[in-house]
Amino acid sequence: MTADAQNQVARRPSRTAQLMAVQRGLESARPAQTRLFQDPLAGRFVSPAWRVALWGARFAVVRRVIEAIYDLVGGPGPRASAIARTKLIDDLIGEASPSIEQLVILGAGYDTRAHRLDCLSDRVVYEIDHPNTQTLKRTVLASAKASAATAPRYVAVDFEHDELTAALIASGYQRTQRSMFLWEGVTQYLSSEAVDRTLSAIHRAARHGDTLVFTYVDECVVRGEHDRFPEAARWLHGTAKRGEPWIFGFPPADLHDYLRTHGFCLVSDLSTRQAGERYFTPLGRPDRASDLYHVATATVT
């Protein structure tokens, strides 16, 4: 990608964030007995064409056709993985909420948990993201008259260039309060240096025992080794085509040691396939999530 193209990508809101909203919108269109969550704001962040599609997805036949086409074009894995990871993280937040006072969402995109999770109604939520994506999000939420029991505090940060800890503290973050950090759908788009800096910044801001939940992709797919994950080729082609290629991943076997060197202790590491088995199988749903995408939980040591 040329420097001009990179600058153009940096100036526009994230297309990946829009696709995540599409996936949450499709899930929300399901009947209550089979959906994993409901996000009534998801459709506000998508293109007019997708808005029409999500309206039609309320009808089972239409939804099945849309999901089948989505999976055919994007490959098996991306849609189901996005749904499984969203539900898993919702549950992790719900489990942690009685013991936390602050939730920090890094690279929030069009995340609407501050508006849709009751367990956050009396918690302070900080949303940290690139200013371009954040500006559009705030405009959309304002037009939707979206409400939250506690309005999120928006912190504009470019992970590649800005100092996260200082920006977070300047926004009112309290180091003395128990916190949870969520870093979803971000690491694969960053340089290794930016990932290291962000983990160090989280460690500086956090207290001993605070929780970090983050997602990552298996390093081998970034290196182009797709033998274990046949779905990876189309998945990576799609991200590159959107101008947001994956450039970073972790080797799962090395994650424990890597986190320990940065002051964290790995608690759990689930692939989205494993999460999908937890959530889809009991509902009799055939959705196939992927082993290449992971959700990890760690604590600050």
Q: DSSP string covering 10-76, please? A: HHSPPHHHHHHHHHHHHHHTS-TTT-S---TTGGGGS-HHHHHHHHHTTSHHHHHHHHHHHHHHH-S
The alpha carbon of 219 is separated from its chain's Cα centroid by a whole number of angstroms, namely 18
Provide block-wise average pLDDT over 10 residues at a time, the chain (301 residues): 40 76 96 96 94 96 94 88 98 97 95 94 93 89 79 87 88 95 96 93 95 97 90 89 92 96 98 97 95 97 93
Question: What phi and psi values does residue 106 have, to the nearest 5 degrees?
Answer: -90, 125
Residue 174: per-residue pLDDT = 94
**Beta sheet of 211-217, edge-to-edge order:** 153-156, 124-129, 102-106, 179-183, 211-217, 293-300, 264-271
Residue 214: per-residue pLDDT = 98
Q: What CA dihedral angle connects 128, 175, 297 and 150, to 10 degrees?
A: -50
Q: Is residue 273 part of a domain?
A: yes
Residue 241: per-residue pLDDT = 87
270 Cβ neighbours under 8 A, 6+ residues apart: 88, 294, 295, 296
Q: Is residue 193 part of a domain?
A: yes
Residue 47: per-residue pLDDT = 93
Token pair 């009396």: residue? 122
Instruction: Residue 258: name the closest of 206, 205, 298 by CA.
Output: 298
Residue 2: per-residue pLDDT = 38
pLDDT digits (tens, 9 = 90+) for 279-299: 999 999 999 999 999 999 999
The alpha carbon of 43 is separated from its chain's Cα centroid by a whole number of angstroms, namely 17
Helix (H) or strand (E) holding 106: strand 102-106
Q: Is residue 192 part of a domain?
A: yes
Domain interval for residue 141: 76-300
- Neighbour tally for 287: CB within 10 Å: 20
CA distance 294 to 277: 14
Residue 3: per-residue pLDDT = 39
Q: Is residue 87 part of a domain?
A: yes
Residue 146: per-residue pLDDT = 76
pLDDT digits (tens, 9 = 90+) for 66-81: 999 998 888 789 999 9
Residue 12: per-residue pLDDT = 52
Residue 13: per-residue pLDDT = 61
Q: Specify the DSSP class assigned to residue 225.
A: -
pTM, two decimals, is 0.93
User: Bridge-partner residues for 182, per DSSP?
Assistant: 105, 213
Q: Is residue 208 part of a domain?
A: yes
Where residue 145 sits, what CATH number does that domain have? Answer: 3.40.50.150
Q: Is residue 129 part of a domain?
A: yes
Residue 131: per-residue pLDDT = 86
User: Bridge-partner residues for 179, per DSSP?
Assistant: 102
Q: Is residue 94 part of a domain?
A: yes
Rg (CA), the chain: 18
Residue 4: per-residue pLDDT = 40
Domains in the chain, number: 1
Residue 226: per-residue pLDDT = 86
CB 119 within 8 A of CB 149: no
Token pair 């994007």: residue? 74
- Neighbour tally for 99: CB within 10 Å: 10
Q: Is residue 8 part of a domain?
A: no
Distances 236 to 65, 223, 230, 260 between C-alpha atoms, Å = 23, 11, 11, 29
